[in-house]
Amino acid sequence: MGKVVALFNTSEHSFTGRDCWNHLMTFRRRNLDVKDVQIIFEFCRKMQTENSDFFYSIQLDDSDDRMINFFWIDGRSILAYQVFGDVVTFDTTYRTNKYRMPFASFTGLNNHGQSILFGCALLQDETEKSFIWLFKTWLLAMRNKAPVSS
């Protein structure tokens, strides 16, 4: 992004280039490309036909019915969690996707000390509302089995 020093500045209003950047990122996250959303739906339908244990959930915006949060997990990961889900780590530090949405991962360790991916999500933001939706969805996918330690 090019450098913007000040876009608007009066005695009543002022914002910086960073404010503009934040606004554009919020707008971009809230307005996912229709083609991208369609690809997600097609992927989920395909995965469920190949594996009936594949689980996904999509949270829609209250006002516009737009996709804002997306969680998915395959049947193998659900089974692995039932066996190795004593300790779960949760991370949202990755933002390398097109919309710079937080990528959330649930991981753990198997009996060989190897990392295991239990589930993933793309979130619109890191607000309390998004996390509540995600953790409730996580528990639903895991048949209400909470980790022993997290």
Which sequence spans correspond to the domains of the chain? 1-30, 33-141
* pLDDT over 50 at 4, yes or no: no
In this predicted structure, what is the pLDDT of residue 1? 43
**How many angstroms separate the CA atoms of 69 and 124, rounded?**
6
Q: Kindly tell me if the per-residue pLDDT of 14 is higher than 90.
A: no
**Which pLDDT band holds residue 116 (cuts at 50, 70, 90)?**
very high
Average pLDDT, the chain: 78
Cα angle 103-107-108, degrees, rounded to a multiple of 5: 170
The pLDDT, as a whole number, for residue 24 is 54
So what's the pLDDT on residue 42?
83
Mean pLDDT of 98-104: 78
- pLDDT top residue among 80 and 66: 80
Q: Please write the tens of the pLDDT for every residue from 15-71.
A: 666 665 555 555 554 555 667 667 777 887 888 889 889 898 988 777 766 778 889
Task: Report the chain's terminal Cα–Cα distance, integer Å.
Answer: 38
Q: Residue 11: is its pLDDT beyond 70?
A: no
CA 30 to the chain's CA centroid? 13
Residue 104: predicted pLDDT: 93
Contacts of 146 (CB under 8 A, 6+ apart): 139
Residue with the bigger pLDDT between 116 and 6: it is: 116
